[in-house]
Chain A
Amino acid sequence: MTLIQVKNVDFGYSATRQILSDINLEIAPGDTVGLVGESGSGKTTLLRLLLGLARPDSGSITFDGQNLDTGNRAFMRQFRRQAQIVFQDPYSSLDPRQTIFSIIAEPLRSLKIDGDHRQMVAEALEAVGLDRDAATRYPHQFSGGQRQRIAIARAIVARPPFLLADEAVSALDLTTRTRIVDLLARLSAEMTLLFVSHDIGVVAALCRRIVILEKGRIVEQGETAKILKNPQHPYTQRLLASVPRLSVNEISS
């Protein structure tokens, strides 16, 4: 059983420079996968491909057995209900001129999801640990951590089975980060999570599987525990060596 299958995918923003090369990746439903790599290694780019925001130059991506065809409107409409994303920057991810209600309800409106939107937004707010009356306020009235919770509420309000998080905790201070990681851990019990981070400690705490990306190539992937204990690829070894042991223990405890 696979939810996402990426086969031999190449991609470049321009013809002259390839960003992703020969990506092969499978994500099982319900799994929690960490995508790790240095800045510029192509993590965000890979997420954009998985979200159908860009199209691979070659190779294929399938979602639930169906080809992720960005030109197929009927399929994309269906697909948009399945996958949502949380970004790194809690400031640019919320429209400053919309109320929290409008922000969180946007997927419900645009995806034409039936039901009482007020109630669904209230439930999403509750799920991320915010007050119901946050709905009437504006983003500038919240802290970075609270904004990130709002962004997560928007991502889960339509109950997508697949959640992508692009460095969703990198911009937060340590205590807030731990809380948001806890929240994501709780959510990952009910959905498939692809969690991008350059912080191996957080990935170790959160993800069952790990994928290591270096310069647009996957150099190693497998169970997190195994890879952390016995990294095969020199790049992974270097990556692990640069992580202070303390932070791994601290966050996973």
Chain B
Amino acid sequence: MTTEIITAPQRQRRPLILWAGLILVGLHVFAGLLSLIWLPYDPTAMAGGRLEGPSLLHWVGTDRLGRDLFTQMMIGSRIALTVGLGAVAIGAVIGVTLGILSAFATRWLDDALAATLDILIAFPTLLIAMLVVAASDTANLWSAIIALGIALSAIVARLTRILAKRVLVMDYITAARTSGSSWPKIVAIHILPNIWPTLAVNFALQFGLAVIAEASLSYLGLGAPPPNASWGRILQEAQGTVYTAPLGAIAPGIALVSLAIGVNLLADGLRDFIDPTRRAR
């Protein structure tokens, strides 16, 4: 009896984390995809009274111009997913490539790269993104995504470099060399598989950071204009009426947090699920 009480939650922990992540992210993916083909209301038109509370017709009420907030939230999910995926993809491709090259580079080149990355990382991601977006004449989503991706790539590169160096000194790398495997092959079959579990968890973290950073840009008025507005803009527009209609500020906040947490749970769960060294023995 006692052993069952102790072991049962441990056995169930992994699938639970995976399911929680899948459901949270799944909801946003569903809402975001659906917003491409169908929306409850026109996001730019008045759909009801101003600042209405939640009702069957308007699930999270309306904003100060009478537009349906749930409609905007759905579009927000799509924007957030685009920003997160886009920024992480850019950050991952540039960062992993630079990190691996750096791990293989000669001493002085590696030192120079490491120092450059440290300086880049010292600048807050948001600041870099703000500068890039402000420099591009039109505030559009892609300039924000690229800016965030580049900012993230420095963090990814530094982590990749450290992880790859740790793998490179392993005897199985030497064994691979004496087995005749080329360096590109060693990277593909030994280094990447051994660093990705840690990288994946980091990517999930970066995803959340990117979504929050984009929301911050929008909040500061540097994001895309409606109808492609993000949760940050909804938040900003609700700011003036936060005491009379708090839902306009609470809803985007909950959406943001639930997506960030969901992605992290998903990454954690997937890692436990796929990584052979973490599977039940």
Closest 9 pairs between A and B when the two form their complex, measured CB to CB: A80-B180, A107-B179, A93-B171, A110-B180, A87-B171, A110-B181, A111-B180, A95-B172, A92-B171
26 pairs, A vs B, C-beta closer than 8 Å: A53-B174, A53-B178, A80-B178, A80-B179, A81-B180, A83-B178, A84-B178, A87-B171, A92-B170, A92-B172, A93-B172, A95-B170, A95-B193, A96-B194, A96-B277, A97-B194, A97-B275, A103-B172, A106-B179, A106-B189, A107-B179, A110-B180, A110-B182, A138-B276, A154-B175, A158-B179
Name B170's closest neighbour in chain A (CB-CB): A92
Whether B193 lies near A85 (C-beta < 8 A) is no
Hey, what's the 0/1 contact readout for B222-243 against A, CB within 8 Å counting as 1? 0000000000000000000000
Q: How far is the CB of B109 from chain A (nearest CB, A)?
A: 18
Whether B174 lies near A94 (C-beta < 8 A) is no
Whether B170 lies near A53 (C-beta < 8 A) is no
Known pairs A84-B178, A87-B174 / 5 extra A-B pairs, C-beta < 8 Å: A80-B178, A87-B171, A95-B190, A110-B176, A110-B179
Q: How far is the CA of A158 from the CA of B189 in the complex (A)?
A: 19
Whether A85 lies near B175 (C-beta < 8 A) is yes
Q: How far is the CA of A110 from the CA of B176 in the complex (A)?
A: 9
Residue B185 interfacial (CB < 8 Å): yes
Residue B177 interfacial (CB < 8 Å): yes
- Which residues of B are at the interface with A, using a C-beta cutoff of 8 A? 170-172, 174-182, 185, 189-190, 193-194, 275-277, 281
Given A97-B193, A98-B189, A85:B275 Cβ within 8 A: no
Contacts of B171 in A (CB 8 A): 87, 89, 92-93
Q: How far is the CB of A93 from chain B (nearest CB, A)?
A: 4
Q: How far is the CB of A139 from chain B (nearest CB, A)?
A: 8
Whether B175 lies near A111 (C-beta < 8 A) is no
Q: How far is the CB of B79 from chain A (nearest CB, A)?
A: 36
Q: How far is the CA of A85 from the CA of B181 in the complex (A)?
A: 14
Q: How far is the CB of A137 from chain B (nearest CB, A)?
A: 9
Q: How far is the CA of A140 from the CA of B277 in the complex (A)?
A: 7
Whether A97 lies near B276 (C-beta < 8 A) is yes
Residue A203 interfacial (CB < 8 Å): no
Contacts of A107 in B (CB 8 A): 179-180
Contacts of A233 in B (CB 8 A): none
Residue A61 interfacial (CB < 8 Å): no
Category for how many chain A residues contact B: 20 to 34
Contacts of A242 in B (CB 8 A): none
Which residue of B171, B176, B182 has the most chain A CB atoms within 10 A of its CB atom? B171
Hey, what's the 0/1 contact readout for A146-159 against B, CB within 8 Å counting as 1? 00000100100010
Q: How far is the CA of A152 from the CA of B3 in the complex (A)?
A: 40
Contacts of A138 in B (CB 8 A): 276-277
Neighbour of B179 across the interface among A89, A94, A98, A111, CB < 8 A: A111
Name B195's closest neighbour in chain A (CB-CB): A97
Name A139's closest neighbour in chain B (CB-CB): B277
Contacts of A77 in B (CB 8 A): 180
Contacts of B277 in A (CB 8 A): 96-97, 138, 140
Name A78's closest neighbour in chain B (CB-CB): B180
Q: How far is the CA of A93 from the CA of B173 in the complex (A)?
A: 8
Hey, what's the 0/1 contact readout for A97-141 against B, CB within 8 Å counting as 1? 111001100110011000000000000000000000000001011
Whether A95 lies near B178 (C-beta < 8 A) is no
Q: How far is the CB of B53 from chain A (nearest CB, A)?
A: 53
Contacts of B276 in A (CB 8 A): 96-97, 99, 138, 140
Which residue of B171, B179, B182 has the most chain A CB atoms within 10 A of its CB atom? B179
Contacts of A97 in B (CB 8 A): 193-194, 275-277
Q: How far is the CB of A92 from chain B (nearest CB, A)?
A: 5
Contacts of A85 in B (CB 8 A): 174-175, 178
Name B274's closest neighbour in chain A (CB-CB): A97
Contacts of A102 in B (CB 8 A): 189
Q: How far is the CB of B214 from chain A (nearest CB, A)?
A: 34
Contacts of B193 in A (CB 8 A): 95, 97-98
Name A85's closest neighbour in chain B (CB-CB): B178
Q: How far is the CA of A85 from the CA of B180 in the complex (A)?
A: 12
Q: How far is the CB of A155 from chain B (nearest CB, A)?
A: 8
Contacts of A103 in B (CB 8 A): 172
Q: How far is the CA of A174 from the CA of B182 in the complex (A)?
A: 37
Whether A110 lies near B174 (C-beta < 8 A) is no
Residue A51 interfacial (CB < 8 Å): yes
8 Å CB contacts to B: which residues of A60-85? 77, 80-81, 83-85
Neighbour of B185 across the interface among A80, A98, A99, A110, CB < 8 A: A110
Contacts of B179 in A (CB 8 A): 80, 84, 106-107, 110-111, 154, 158
Contacts of A92 in B (CB 8 A): 170-172
Q: How far is the CA of A194 from the CA of B251 in the complex (A)?
A: 70
Q: How far is the CA of A158 from the CA of B176 in the complex (A)?
A: 13
Contacts of A154 in B (CB 8 A): 175, 179
Name B174's closest neighbour in chain A (CB-CB): A53
Whether A95 lies near B180 (C-beta < 8 A) is no
